[in-house]
């Protein structure tokens, strides 16, 4: 596969991809007789999948009229799901974004949404933004969040200048504001941070909270100010409280809080049977925690808890992409999406081959 990305799919390249569907050019790869997870219908469907370069161009019953030197892969007895997304990565835990992406992608996690704090604090604005653009040339897909605060009282607020935050927030690879650790100051009248929260909302980008132990009234106030998701729920009741208030909830399974098995058990006891507004994260764990994988480990926990496989995979693929408004690029197996695909030998186990 090439390392081209959506924003590099020029008009010429897109016309070439159209010509594949028209039968005027051969595809790069054909996945024949594939059983794939279709999130639009919440079903496993059989189809042939055509890929040109790194883009899915056709999913349906037909084979290409012109095969040329295209590679054809027989996918009988395999199940194909979208590449997994870790939406809350802190990629500086004895590893860096490049090495984490390589390790994660070999285990099925092909997209990372990363904390920008280290680059924000240590690199000049132009250099930092050029670096994240360079990292986008990797075979994996990388997006970023932009911080409003340093998560430390030891660093001065002057480091978070308006021009610097503005440049990050408006960048096409930045899909989120937060995580918002200085929310008490916002509630106490910090209008500078509130301004950037409003700008994030104006740009139609979500805001990640950091709200451990927050009461119903605190959660309500933060929702009024624009927070849309939180990853700090440590009990089933706290998850339900956030869901009831309209939040998307990221269920955490990390080295500090390996909560996922218990959360699923408590949510089932509380009668939760809809997971369309739930995501999963490993929250920047150290390398030792990733010995069994990244999002594939979270998916396996969800499957073992008895969740519908559509939801188990959705919480690390389609539901994530939909929340971040990138489901036209990621999280689904459909034309126009990046061809991040995982091949499974069984729907309910993570023994798989990664393409």
Predicted pLDDT at 218: 98
Domain 84-330 has CATH 3.40.50.460: no
How far apart CA 146 and CA 116 sit, in angstroms, is: 6
Predicted pLDDT at 196: 96
Predicted pLDDT at 194: 97
Predicted pLDDT at 354: 47
Predicted pLDDT at 159: 76
State residue 69 phi and psi, 5-degree precision: -100, 25
Q: What residues does each domain of the chain span?
A: 6-80, 84-330
Instruction: Give tens-digit pLDDT for 44-73.
Output: 999 999 999 999 999 999 999 999 999 999
Q: What are the E-state strand segments in 107-247?
A: 109-114, 141-146, 174-180, 207-209, 229-230
Sign of the torsion formed by the C-alpha atoms of 225, 227, 232 and 238: positive
Task: Write down the pTM of the prediction.
Answer: 0.95
Residues of the chain with pLDDT under 70: 1-8, 153-158, 351-355
Specify whether the CB–CB gap between 2 and 53 falls below 8 A. Answer: yes
What is the CATH topology of the domain spanning 6-80?
Urease, subunit C; domain 1 (2.30.40)
Instruction: Give tens-digit pLDDT for 143-177.
Output: 999 999 987 755 556 678 899 999 999 999 999 99
- With both helix axes pointing from N to C terminus, report the angle between 236-244 and 260-269 in degrees, rounded to the nearest 10: 70
Predicted pLDDT at 150: 84
Would you say the CATH fold of 84-330 matches that of 6-80?
no
Predicted pLDDT at 4: 44
Predicted pLDDT at 3: 37
């Amino acid at each position: 596969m090439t390392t081209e990305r959506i924003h590099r799919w020029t008009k010429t390249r897109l016309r070439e991809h159209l010509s594949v569907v028209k039968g005027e050019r051969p595809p790069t790869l054909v996945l024949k007789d594939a059983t794939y997870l279709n999130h639009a219908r919440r079903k496993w469907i059989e189809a042939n999948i055509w890929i040109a370069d790194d883009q899915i161009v056709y999913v349906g019953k037909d084979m290409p009229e012109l095969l040329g030197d295209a590679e054809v892969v027989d996918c009988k007895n395999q199940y194909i799901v979208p590449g997994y997304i870790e939406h809350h990565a802190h990629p500086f835990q004895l590893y860096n974004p490049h090495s984490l992406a390589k390790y994660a992608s070999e285990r099925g996690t092909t997209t990372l949404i990363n904390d920008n704090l280290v680059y924000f604090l240590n690199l000049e604005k132009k250099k930092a933004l050029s670096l994240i653009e360079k990292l986008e040339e990797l075979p994996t897909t990388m997006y970023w969040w932009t911080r409003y605060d340093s998560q430390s009282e030891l660093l001065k607020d002057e480091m978070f200048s308006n021009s610097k935050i503005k440049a990050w927030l408006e960048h096409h690879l930045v899909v989120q504001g937060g995580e918002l650790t200085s929310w008490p100051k916002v509630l106490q009248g910090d209008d500078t941070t509130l301004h950037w929260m409003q700008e994030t909302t104006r740009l139609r980008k979500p805001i990640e909270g950091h709200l451990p132990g927050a009461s119903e009234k605190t959660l309500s106030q933060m929702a009024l100010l624009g927070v849309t998701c939180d990853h700090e729920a440590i009990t089933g009741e706290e998850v339900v409280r956030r869901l009831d208030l309209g939040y998307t909830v990221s269920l955490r399974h990390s080295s500090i809080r390996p909560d996922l098995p218990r959360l699923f058990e408590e949510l089932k006891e509380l009668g939760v049977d809809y997971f369309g507004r739930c995501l999963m994260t490993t929250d920047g764990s150290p390398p030792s925690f990733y010995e069994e994988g990244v999002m594939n480990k979270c998916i396996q926990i969800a499957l073992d808890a008895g969740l519908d496989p559509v939801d188990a995979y959705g919480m690390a693929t389609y539901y994530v992409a939909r929340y971040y408004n990138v489901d036209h690029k990621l999280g689904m197996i459909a034309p126009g999406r990046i061809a991040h695909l995982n091949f499974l030998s069984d729907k309910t186990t993570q023994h798989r081959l990664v393409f």
